[in-house]
A = this chain, B = another copy of it.
Amino acid sequence: MLHVVIMAGGSGTRFWPASRAAQPKQLLQLAGPRTLLQATVDRLEGLVPLDSILVVTADRLLPAVREQLPAVPARCLVGEPCKRDTAPCIGLAALLVARHDPEAILAVMPSDHVISPGAAFRDAIRQAATLVEADPARLVTFGIKPTYPAEGFGYIQQGERLATTGPAAVHRVARFKEKPPAAVATEYLAAGNFLWNAGIFVWRASTIIAALAERQPECLVHLRTIVAAWDGPDRDVVFAREFAAIRGISIDYAVLEHAREVLVVEAPFGWDDLGGWSAVARQRGTDTEGNTVVGRHLGIDSVRTIVHADGDHLVVTMGVEDMLVVHTPDATLVATRAHEESVRRVVAELEKRGWKEFL
């Protein structure tokens, strides 16, 4: 049976001050009226029932996640006691699902991407599940056709194309590539057989567990100890102790780059990882003056400006071009859009100054 694992533990800092430690990107209404996490769950309707979804987040985010996903059963929401990258997260999810469904197929996905249309996404996941049903050894990844020489993504080099039925082209993975410098990214784009790694995976729970057992045996021992205590009184204590003892590592490093049967589905859907405020503007669109506004705004001689204001607060911009104004109840950011990539510097500076209330 198909299960979905949503990874929702991210703590992005690019959307500060809208995003905070206690309210990271996936919990924000950046692209529309639903938060990115809510939209991720909405997108699964018709693919899997709600109780076949496992949301893995950070334990401090659990109350907010519960509030945002009231229809998802509480037992389907897992809060990691600390951050240990994607391999431990996925391994734990696989073990938890496999307890009740040893033949389970998992679709693993981030919670903070914008994907549409939903039907194309669901069809692609189904196609990947079919590939895995046909050969349980397969690990299926999803790649996005690059539209510019992005330096911020990992790349997947497509190998031999498979003869498959279904809407999407499927290739063997020739090679995974780290985030490249600009010149290399340009080469990838020109080559035409490189895709952005979307961080979406489909595989059998048993297969990824076996892969972790081979490549990360210590990690798997800790995870099995956690799962053995899952339904008992010591769950929280064991979870905290054992998870903290695991070395953090991504599933790409831990498994994918070493595996033989890795396929890549060329995504037949629109995708945006929403890497910053300009991506928000792209998703939300702009008015006739090039402004993108969420909240209450009065613009006078203001163009190409992004305004994001909480609640009923009024933001007035006058005489500004290519600016970014983000208002929250306790902090406001005013930056040029050219500095959009530097929003992380603000967070670093706040940490340095010990202004924890704004993190």
Contact = CB atoms under 8 A, between A and B. Distances in A.
A318 B300 contact: no
A301 B355 contact: no
Contacts of A323: 320, 334
Interface in A336-359: 336, 338-339, 342-343, 345-346, 349-350, 353, 355, 358
Interface in A189-241: none
Given A298-B349, A298-B350, A300-B349, A318 B332 contact: no
A313 interface: yes
A335 B314 contact: no
Interface of A: 17, 298, 300-301, 309, 312-320, 323, 325, 327, 330-336, 338-339, 342-343, 345-346, 349-350, 353, 355, 358
Q: How many copies does the complex hold?
A: 2
A240 B274 CA distance: 60
Given A313-B331, A314-B330, 20 more contacts: A17-B314, A298-B349, A298-B353, A300-B339, A300-B345, A300-B349, A301-B339, A313-B330, A314-B331, A314-B332, A315-B332, A316-B331, A316-B332, A316-B334, A316-B346, A318-B336, A318-B339, A318-B343, A327-B332, A334-B334
A358 B315 CA distance: 11
A301 B318 CA distance: 21
